[in-house]
Structure 1
């Protein structure tokens, strides 16, 4: 993942910002004793990107991947509109408890830029609904140059979005974060629609680390920099998640990216170990991650 890549990650202050005041409020308002649901995965299952992760002779990468992780951030649906047959094929390669997190197709977000996309959204949602119990949450990622001046387009799409499909939203343009009034309006819309405000932790865009949850679900896209700081950053996330859990966090969706994806399973394995230890969980630690060698 090249978004937010910098030439010298060692010069970046990777400390997590303080929580937005709205986060504690929204967690407290919906706090209950529900079991903590945690899903951790990588961005893709491609053998080329995850070199060394698959045992020799692996014939079906997704089928093996799904024995090692309980979730996948599904970027394939961003580049091509899925159909129900493809979704059915993917679903049937995974065990119960596995979750897919499909990204809305770029026709909707980047080419048509949310203009007159009701039919495309319907086609997408009809397809991914076939994941059935394997569907985690769809997510809508807007182009870097999609600005708050087009807020009404986004509002209309979110209000019309099928209620049976959970949705996270990722805005990228700096103007969504630089204006308090704009950000408050945006977050209020997500809260009203019961949608998740996606957090992105990447070196070159620290403004996207807004620490503003809009519900009891945290959807975090973590982008490592292939640098020794990556591990400490993950440890800091575990501590912040611990705080959120005491305040009422119910679901965590955490996806590990890298500028060079080779080390993603290693970083994910480190994060899973820390989560298991901190929360008394029993998440699977990927087998081959331990055989790839030490990080850095």
Structure 2
């Protein structure tokens, strides 16, 4: 993987399901060590890793988070997605979660899903924004991207250093179209030259 990727490419490995879904962060130190050992050969091409907990992982298991965060290597950035809405419905619980992420310098995954925006919190816990954008193969997908460009601009003014923005679609062949639209506008807004993916339309 390291040899096949271009110099400016970074991988964002997802933490295996055995850790997140099967063990549910319980007694996972040895598994984490094994995962980390297998990722280290990516060297400078290793970007922010991604821990996605199952839908039914609720705040009653909050005590499992800190031991996992504490064991995770500080040199490897990590973003955490907690998908149950109870993590965000109660301000006290949300504050506890954010304090933990701040303590260990971890990013909080922000999910924007069309038709379901109950997990669309807007709290950054470090200088990294990790956004999972789910389209609906609908024209509103593009206007929502415009809104994100404005939000990212605000965060950039406030000190945002890194952005991970992942585009998903119900019909995935449309994902490159959304990505191309977003990157083209991003480049213009921020003076960047990120490569725009080739789409079927651009090949004609």
User: Aligned partners of 1:125 and 1:276: how far apart in 2?
Assistant: 33
List structure 1 segments (4+ residues) > 3 angstroms apart after TM superposition.
Answer: none
Is contact 1:136–1:166 with CA below 8 Å preserved after alignment? yes
**Offset at residue 163 of structure 1 (A):** 1.6
**Offset at residue 165 of structure 1 (A):** 1.4
**Offset at residue 248 of structure 1 (A):** 1.1
Q: Is the partner of 1:201 in helix, strand or coil?
A: strand
Which whole-Å deviations, capped at 9, do the CAs of 1:125-146 have from their partners, x for residues lacking one? 1111111111111111000000
**Offset at residue 289 of structure 1 (A):** 5.0
- 1:179 matched residue in structure 2: 90
**Offset at residue 287 of structure 1 (A):** 2.7
**Offset at residue 247 of structure 1 (A):** 1.2
- 1:239 matched residue in structure 2: 150
Q: TM-score, normalised by structure 1?
A: 0.67
User: Aligned partners of 2:75 and 2:188: how far apart in 1?
Assistant: 34
Is contact 1:159–1:193 with CA below 8 Å preserved after alignment? yes
User: Aligned partners of 2:170 and 2:124: how far apart in 1?
Assistant: 26
Which whole-Å deviations, capped at 9, do the CAs of 1:143-200 have from their partners, x for residues lacking one? 0000000001111111111222111100000110100000000000000101001101
Residues 1:254 and 2:141 aligned together? no
Residues 1:200 and 2:111 aligned together? yes
User: Aligned partners of 2:10 and 2:201: how far apart in 1?
Assistant: 23
- 1:149 matched residue in structure 2: 60
- 1:26 matched residue in structure 2: none
- 1:189 matched residue in structure 2: 100
Structure 1 counterpart of 2:135, from 224, 249, 252: 224
Question: Per chain length, whose mean CA-contact separation is higher, i.e. which structure has more relative contact order (CA < 8 Å, sep 6+)?
Answer: 1
Is contact 1:129–1:165 with CA below 8 Å preserved after alignment? no
Q: Which runs of 5 or more structure 2 residues have no equivalent in the other structure?
A: none
**Offset at residue 292 of structure 1 (A):** 6.7
Q: Assess, with a 3 A threshold, how the Cα gap between structure 1 residues 193 and 289 changes in structure 2: closer, same or farther.
A: farther
Which whole-Å deviations, capped at 9, do the CAs of 1:193-215 have from their partners, x for residues lacking one? 01001101002431211000001
User: Aligned partners of 1:159 and 1:178: how far apart in 2?
Assistant: 26
- 2:21 matched residue in structure 1: 110
Structure 1 counterpart of 2:124, from 173, 196, 213: 213
Number of equivalenced pairs? 204
